[in-house]
Amino acid sequence: MTATIRRIDVRPLRAELRRPWGPDVRDLTFLAVEVEDSDGAVGDGFSWTPTIGAASVRAMLEHDIRDWAIGRPADATEVWEPLWRHLHEAGGGGVTTIAMAGLDLALWDLAARRAGASVADHLGRRRDRVRAYGSGINRHYPFDELVAQAERWVAAGFDAVKVKVGLPDLADDVARVRAVREVIGPDRGLMIDANQLWTLDQALRAVDALAPFGLRWIEEPLRADDLASHQRLAAHLRLADAFDVPIAVGENLYTRYRFAEYIDAGVARIVQPNIVRVGGITPFLEIAKLAESRGVQLAPHLLLDLSAQLAMAVPQEIAVEAAEDASLAELGVLADDPPVAVDGGWARDTSQVGLGLRLAASVPTPA
């Protein structure tokens, strides 16, 4: 008989950022989710929000999700789709899927721990390590700090790096991207991320000015919900024979349907699902299958301690984002040793049983 969900406990955990991501993002809130099944097996997952929305996510978990899930099968693949349909009146994505991730991750952790395996082995390991690229939330860094960060990435052995753009004066973006390219040299990959800050006109001017620095991709150049403008920008990039820069999107897309729209519209050549924002491992694996079937690149957004583990098991070779000061281990939110280690530009899992992402009881204030 299939075990059922007997208990769901939710606990908030706030982590102050040592280097704020901006004036409005100075801390992150994690919601630790512990699930117990009818056989007494336990799994640990989490939901995550930068500053905004934690109270809403917690309420969704402690009421709508818990009320629906108790007594249902303790199997992520069985409950995800019916739970999403049940919650859909509250929205198909955003708070809904972020909250669902807490339950989904806990159920995958429970299943892997029951099997006595790491999540990569439980899913079906395909590789023992994956490439990582250096990344940082650095738009607000002074010029010298940005250069120093790029130097740290080179010293750490990363073969690709990503920097933020979207400053009020395009000339400043050009100067900063030029400086990073000079630091990393001509052979390392360079990606830029505008975090949805440009209008279409601004994006058209910016890509013309920045593409000559040899960009591997341009990430979130426009508002994520403006598909029409993305199509116009993609058409402009395809017509520019001197630089055909791929557009990367996905950290603010919440369902496989939206990912399919962007891929099929000819916009997304790199998709970047955030495993928590899309609702956990179950939908992430569906998006990975979609990307493989459409021949587009998969590059998960943030959450290195989780995304690197899944990267060991998906069919396609992918690179994972090693954002400075942003891993769960660096934030100090893990109760145990981190499940992922990065060395020489490579990420590997440490083969812990389950996800290895049990959250700490508290987080020390950063120095």
**Cα 182 to Cα 105: distance, rounded to the nearest angstrom:** 41
Q: Report phi then psi at 258, rounded to 5.
A: -70, -40
The verdict on whether 88 is a catalytic residue reads no
What pLDDT, on the 0 to 100 scale, is given for residue 241? 59
What pLDDT, on the 0 to 100 scale, is given for residue 23? 73
Q: What is the CATH number of domain 5-116?
A: 3.30.390.10
pLDDT tens profile 46-57: 999 988 899 999
Question: Would 5-116 and 121-349 be classified into the same CATH topology?
Answer: no
Q: Kindly state the average pLDDT of the residues 65-86.
A: 97
Please say if the pLDDT value at position 212 is more than 60. yes
Q: Kindly state the average pLDDT of the residues 254-276.
A: 94
pLDDT tens profile 96-138: 999 999 999 999 999 999 999 999 999 999 999 999 999 988 8
Query: DSSP letters of 166-214?
Result: --SSHHHHHHHHHHHHHHH-SSSEEEEE-TT---HHHHHHHHHHHGGGT
Q: Of 164, 230, 236, 289, which one is the catalytic site residue?
A: 164
The residue among 361 and 156 whose pLDDT is bigger is 156
**Average per-residue pLDDT for the chain:** 93
What pLDDT, on the 0 to 100 scale, is given for residue 326? 83
* Sequence ranges of the domains in the chain: 5-116, 121-349
H/E element, 227: helix 227-239
Cβ–Cβ under 8 Å, residues 172 and 207: no
Q: Of 122, 162, 230, 301, which one is the catalytic site residue?
A: 301
Please say if the pLDDT value at position 240 is more than 70. no
Q: Kindly state the average pLDDT of the residues 75-89.
A: 96
What pLDDT, on the 0 to 100 scale, is given for residue 243? 64
For Cα atoms 254, 256, 261, give the angle at the middle one, nearest 5 degrees: 95
In the structure, what pLDDT confidence band is assigned to residue 142 with cuts at 50, 70 and 90? very high
Q: Kindly state the average pLDDT of the residues 256-264.
A: 95
Enumerate residues 6+ apart whose C-beta is below 8 A from 292.
298, 314, 315, 316
pLDDT tens profile 157-207: 999 999 999 999 999 999 999 999 999 999 999 999 999 999 999 999 999
Please say if the pLDDT value at position 36 is more than 80. yes
Q: Kindly state the average pLDDT of the residues 44-69.
A: 94
Please say if the pLDDT value at position 367 is more than 60. no
What pLDDT, on the 0 to 100 scale, is given for residue 24? 77
Pick one of 3.20.20.120, 3.40.50.2000, 3.40.47.10, 3.40.640.10 as the CATH number of 121-349.
3.20.20.120
What pLDDT, on the 0 to 100 scale, is given for residue 366? 61
Please say if the pLDDT value at position 265 is more than 70. yes
